Structures are given as structure tokens and as C-alpha cells.
Amino acid sequence: MSTNGASASKTLDAIKTLGFTHILMIPDSESDRLYRAIGSDPAISLITPTREGESMAIAAGLWTGGKKPLVIIQNTGLFEAGDALRGCGLGPKVPLRLMIGWRGYSGAVSGTGVIDSAYTYTEPILNGWGIPFWRILNDEDLPALGQMDRTAEETEMPAAVVTGYAFRD
Amino acid sequence: MIERMDVFRALTARRTDEIVVITMSATRQWPVVSKSDLDFDFLAFGMGHAGDFALGLALARPERKTIVFKGDGGQLMSLGSLVTKGAYAPGNLLVLFLENRTYETTGGQPFSERVDFDTLARGAGIEGGGATGKGKVERIETLAAFEEALPRLLTEEGPHFVILPVENNEEVPTISHSLHSGRVRTLRKALGVD
């Protein structure tokens, strides 16, 4: 049985293999290990904006200029960034690649505790905007990053992966 | 106060191969003085984020200046982005901050008279900051001073954040904005990306 949560180092390896040049990332408690792994790797440029809408616009500018950015945010930030995602991704057909932390997932599937509304609305929001997405719950799911990347490239539209647990070392 | 169209005319007189990002009301006046595939009409790309898009362009294309005409009302929608520029803006980013103290596009509604954008930009770390550690925040009050500063602003390593108090007494034409996706791909082609 797979361990819950993907390895931060293996996730970073997968990101680098796909040729991403910049990562726009706002830290959260579940992605902290990934944030530290990215920050300690000089091969990739890490930018930490102050809000997720900024991330979308900076990423769109990077892509327009010929770079390949990856936006890493939590689902709460996805909700905040709705207009920027519309304006900089969906409207102009900019293939933004998104990795979205699914806050509330682990609590919801364990059946313990209160259901976090951030969990509840994540997949319906992505479906509503027509953004294809794949779940990453452990290391075995990491190839989904490639699927997401290829889909964004082929459709010239945003695509996403959602990460269901905190990243491990 | 400087007439906004005079700012545009002064820049076009000196411009060579710089990218120029424009947004909101300015997108209706800039085409009167410029028709270039390196112009980027940001209207409807996301409220308050023209400067962020320009930051991404500047990071991607360090070989040329990226200039963005940023409005003060839009800046209020993304104040934190000043902090991002204070940390990451590269030397080829020039922000021409059009300060008219209103939300002009939506009818000229005022915002707090107490806002001081010079202080906000400095407090966000742009002065002496950006990726180069050479960021400059300055306020230019007259057209003559702007024309005098332009050769420096277009060649000197920045990033630069230039506050221009402006008014608009010229006609704002009605124009048809092109499709979002077309604007992005026109610029990519002009940059040699596609």
C-alpha cells in the first residue's frame, strides 16, 4: 500500500524532467517540504508572489516571453485567483500549468473531523471552469504531472494536478 | 500634472524595441500614437495584474526593456505585487505609474486621498531592491522632466518605478479590442517565441 503524500524530492525531480524554468509558489503548510526542496535547488527559479492572482499573471508573462512556468498554490489560493486565472489563462488560451494543494482532502477521506469547505469546492470549481485535472496522492501518481503538462501543451489551455496530502521528505 | 497623451507621445518619440504593456483607459489612447506588435493590450486579462504580467515578460526577456503603464486604481487591487517587484523585478523592468487618483475606467470614482504611492513603493522594497539591488523609485511632475529622464530610464539598469501624476483632457477614442488569444500570440511572434 502506498504511503500517503508524494515525496518532495521525487516531485521536484519530475518537475525538472518536464523542463519547467520557473516556479511561482506561495507556501502553505502542506507544501512546505516541496517549497524547501525547490528553494534549495539552483537549477530552477523560484518566485514567491504575495497572492495567487499575481502568480497567474506572472506565469502568463513568462509563457508569453518563451519560458515554461509552473504555478503551485493551495486550493484556497485558486479560489482567490479566479479572475486572474480567467483573464490570464482561460480567456487568452495560455497553457498555465497548475499544481493545487487540496486542503481538506486528508481529513475528508479519513472520515474524522469537520469537512473543510475548501475540500468540497475544489473539484467542482475546476470542473466548472473546464480545467482538466489529475490527482496526485502518492509517488505512484507522479506521472500525472506529465499528463497535465502534455494536455496543457496540446490544448493550449490551463491544466492542473491536485495534491491530496502533505508532501513528505 | 502631465497630460497623459503627452506622456505617450514622449515615449513613442524615444522608443526603439521595448515591449510596452498598457491597460484600462490607456488601451484606448496608446494606439493613437503607436502601432507595434510589441505593444500589449492587457485589458480584460485580470483586474490589477498588468504589472505582474509585465514582470513575467521582463524576467523571460532580459535582453530588452519591458515597460508597463500601470494605473493607480489597478495598483490598489494588487498592492502586494509591489512587494514581489521589490524582491524579483529585474533590471529591464520600467513601471510608468500613471497617478490620476481615481478609478478612471469605471467613471472616475475617487479612492482614499491619503494613499501615498511613493511611500508604498519604497516600503515594499523597490528602492534599492529588485533582483539587481538597484531599484529606483522616483516621482516626475512635469513633461519636461519626463522627457529629460527618458533616455536614462530606457537605458539604465533598474528596475524603475516612476510615478507620473497625470490628467486626461484629450478625447478617449472608442476602439474594438482584439481577441485575448490573438494578442498573446502576436507578441510571442514578435519576440520570436512562436
The one-digit pLDDT tens for each residue of chain A (169 residues) are 578 999 999 999 999 999 999 999 999 999 999 999 999 999 999 999 999 999 999 999 999 999 999 999 999 999 999 999 999 999 999 999 999 999 999 999 998 877 899 999 999 999 999 999 999 999 999 999 999 999 999 999 999 999 999 999 9
Domain-wise residue ranges, chain B = 2-190
Compare CB distances from B46 to A47, A48, A87 and report the shortest one's residue: A87
| CA closest to B59 among chain A residues | A62
**Per-residue pLDDT, B175:** 80
In a domain, A71, yes or no: yes
**Per-residue pLDDT, A125:** 97
Under an 8 A CB cutoff, do A58 and B61 touch?
no
Distances in whole angstroms, Cα of residue A156 to Cα of each of A2, A32, A131, A150, B184: 33, 30, 11, 10, 12
* Residue A92 sits at the chain B interface (C-beta within 8 Å): yes
- Interior CA angle at B158 toward B156 and B160, to 5°? 105
The residues pairing with B166 across neighbouring beta strands, listed in sequence order, are B2
Compare CB distances from A54 to B80, B181, B191 and report the shortest one's residue: B80
**Per-residue pLDDT, A1:** 55
The residues pairing with B70 across neighbouring beta strands, listed in sequence order, are B97
Chain A contact set for B47 (CB, 8 A): 83-84, 87
Number of domains in chain A: 1
Query: Which residue matches cell numbers 467542482?
Result: A124
Distance CA A101, CA A115 (A): 16
User: Residue B156 corresponds to which amino acid?
Assistant: E
CATH number of the domain that residue A19 is part of: 3.40.50.970
What's the average model confidence in pLDDT over B72-88?
Answer: 97
In a domain, A169, yes or no: no
What confidence tier does B100 reach under pLDDT thresholds 50, 70, 90?
very high
* Residue A84 sits at the chain B interface (C-beta within 8 Å): yes
What percentage of chain B exceeds 90 in pLDDT? 88
Q: How far is CA A74 from the centre of its chain?
A: 7
Hey, what CATH topology would domain B2-190 get?
Rossmann fold (3.40.50)
**Per-residue pLDDT, B141:** 97
Chain A contact set for B61 (CB, 8 A): 65-66
In a domain, A96, yes or no: yes
Three-state DSSP at B98 gives strand
Three-state DSSP at B77 gives coil
| CA closest to B78 among chain A residues | A54
Under an 8 A CB cutoff, do B184 and A67 touch?
no
Under an 8 A CB cutoff, do B80 and A83 touch?
no
Q: Which residues of B touch chain A, with CB atoms under 8 Å apart?
A: 40, 44-50, 52-61, 78, 80-81, 83-84, 87-88, 180-181, 183-184, 187-188, 191-193
Where would I find the H helices in chain A? 8-17, 32-39, 52-64, 75-80, 82-85, 105-110, 117-128, 144-155
Mean of per-residue pLDDT scores for chain B = 95
pLDDT, tens digit (0-9, with 9 covering 90-100), for B139-178: 999 999 999 999 999 999 999 999 999 999 998 888 878 8
Q: Is the ipTM of this complex over 0.95?
A: yes
Domain that holds residue A16: 8-163
